[in-house]
A and B are shown apart, each in its own frame.
Chain A
Amino acid sequence: MLKRIPTIAYLVLLLFLLTGDFLEAQQRFPKPEFDTGYVQPSPTTPEPRAMALEYFDVFVLLAVLSLASWLAIKKRSRRGLLWLSIFSLIYFGFYRDGCICSIGAIQNVALSIFDPAYAISITALLFFILPLLFALFFGRVFCASACPLGAIQDLIVINPISIPSWVRKTLGFIPVIYLGLSVLLAATGSDFIICRYDPFVGIFRMDGPFLMIFLGITFLLLGMFYARPYCRVFCPYGVLLSWMSKFSRRHMTITPSECIKCKLCKDSCPFDAIEVPIKQEYRAPEVSRKNLKRFILYIGLIPVLTILGGWIGSKSHIFLSRAHPDVYLAELMISQPELREDEENLDIQAFLESGDTFEQLVEEASLIRKKFRKGGLALGGFIGLALGITLMNQVVFRRREDYEPHKGDCFSCGRCMDYCPVEK
């Protein structure tokens, strides 16, 4: 019993010190008592945007998607789709400042699945789900009329140039990598790169850091010649939409009745998303046999590429994990211990002031790095698998006698419908 007394005394002393400290930090000077009847003001707290308005955004999205599906499939009106996209540009872009956005919502969903502490809002979840479900039934009507990023690029298409198919397909693989990377970084709680490098949000807000505005203007200038550069070369949400749209139940058609193979639509599409009829040569027996051999080869390649990708991904987890601020800080403090003395380095100074020990930080960082090991494996495997399937699709030739929109790449913008000379 006696042995315990010093411990208790120590605890009491500690408690005393702590409370003393607390009081010192909070109230060095007592609150005065005023004699002159002075009324103390209270701090104002302007309210955030009302919840009801957030639900209204979802309602607007739903309305726009339904109207766009009707305009693209039933009414076949390019003009209607164009005006609807201008509405979305004004509403979701300039009025809502480009935030809330389906593209960015990928990250919220990824984070909510991997981090139980993060609660996703129903609005963000619906913004993620609704366009995908619509794409599953009616094609990429979201890209045609609901997406403000697509709308702003669609309006400035002036002189689109046709790009060789192999360049297009290679560039078209970048979004897959971007999607994988953004999900990995969001799931590990490192960063929301889609939002950070959103090129148009600075333009919607007419304000923003230099990089944002610079990216936005570059994309717009580029977009005059390479139509919708962000959608085709970067948009990670476009990857998901394209998967859905490939199996869409109904999709916009170029001609209302029978194709006369006049090629007018082919020239009207700024996105090279119209597929030409398969030439007879491709169906010749010897070509078919050659293609079959390549097809089998590529199918065999899929597991190889997946495993190879996973291996590379898990090998590069140390590099990838540096995107997380804690890992970055821990590495910095290990590699350059002299920075501890650097008054200018705010991150290290703030960490030293926080009271956490260096060991805690290293522990934390190695836990995060472990997550990146799994994440890197999954990312690499995903990219390998996607590459394999893309390759495989290159040698599949379906019988096609008419000019048809490529269901995956077509944004359902409706330009080709206007150019089709066939009457109903």
Chain B
Amino acid sequence: MSRRKFINDGVRLTLGLTVVGTGVFSLKRSASGKDYVWQIDPVKCTQCGRCATECVKSDSAVKCVHAYDLCGYCDLCGGYFKPGAKLQTGAENQLCPTAAIQRRFIEEPYFEYIIDEELCIGCAKCVKGCSAFGNGSLHLQIRHDLCLNCNQCAIATSCPSDAISRVPADKPYIIKGDFTSEEEG
């Protein structure tokens, strides 16, 4: 019986060292040990529309965010109106399928656009319009109050332009206005 015990103890020690060793090695390889969250790089994003459908939550954690710093406050907003539509705010003229963009008159000739995140589904239709005809101030971001921070983001796997990656949890957003002002200044 003591022979069995000896072998058992030996194997246990080996297994234990293997597990701990794997852990130490994996930590050393990755150095930081920081926490990461998923985020979209709006410059890489090609507005394919998969964010609305691929998220494991049926109401996607991806929402449109408005970088007001970049916005031209246009009357004819490429993100708000369908191309070629009349300048009337009827639903048939709006690009957003859920009417999540609220348009408000500020002063001649400027209009403010605010996203209602309760309604936004992250389809990127407005983002495409704004990037094509405007300043690109509307863009998609993963909202961390909604994101479950899955081990592997389902949208990241199917993103055709590799725009979604892990970013450090202490800098969880890539808002467009931020980095353009950094580049300018």
Contacts and interface: CB of A to CB of B under 8 A. Distances in A.
Contacts of B58: 207-208
A350 B175 contact: no
Interface residues of B, number: 69
Contacts of B149: 48-49, 99
Given A45-B173, A116-B29, A349-B160, A107 B152 contact: yes
Contacts of A49: 144, 149
Given A27-B70, A28-B72, A119-B31, A109 B22 contact: yes
A109 B134 contact: no
B23 interface: yes
B131 to A, nearest CB: 8
Contacts of A118: 30, 166
A244 B136 contact: no
Contacts of B143: 46
A129 B148 contact: no
A38 B150 contact: no
B66 interface: yes
A195, A205, A247 interface centre (most CB from chain B within 10 Å): A247
A195 B180 CA distance: 36
B110 A32 contact: yes
A104 interface: yes
A255 interface: no
B33 A38 contact: no
Contacts of A325: 157
B85 interface: no
Interface stretch (A120-128, A145-153, A288-296, A411-419): A120-128
A190 to B, nearest CB: 9
Interface in B46-84: 46, 48, 50, 56-58, 65-74
Nearest to A108: B151
Contacts of B86: none
B19 to A, nearest CB: 5
A183 B132 CA distance: 42
Contacts of B175: 43, 45
B36 A119 contact: yes
A322 to B, nearest CB: 14
Contacts of A125: 23, 26-27, 33
Interface string A344-356: 0011011101100
12 contacts: A28-B72, A29-B74, A31-B71, A34-B107, A49-B149, A99-B150, A107-B151, A108-B151, A129-B23, A192-B152, A196-B154, A196-B157
Interface of A: 25-32, 34-36, 38, 40-43, 45-49, 51, 54, 97, 99-101, 104-105, 107-109, 112-113, 116, 118-125, 128-129, 132-133, 136, 191-192, 195-196, 201-202, 205, 207-209, 212, 243-244, 247-249, 325, 346-347, 349-351, 353-354
Q: Which 4 A-B pairs have the closest CB atoms?
A: A29-B72, A350-B160, A192-B152, A46-B145
Given A122-B27, A244-B19, A249-B12, 6 more contacts: A41-B114, A113-B29, A119-B30, A124-B151, A129-B22, A207-B58
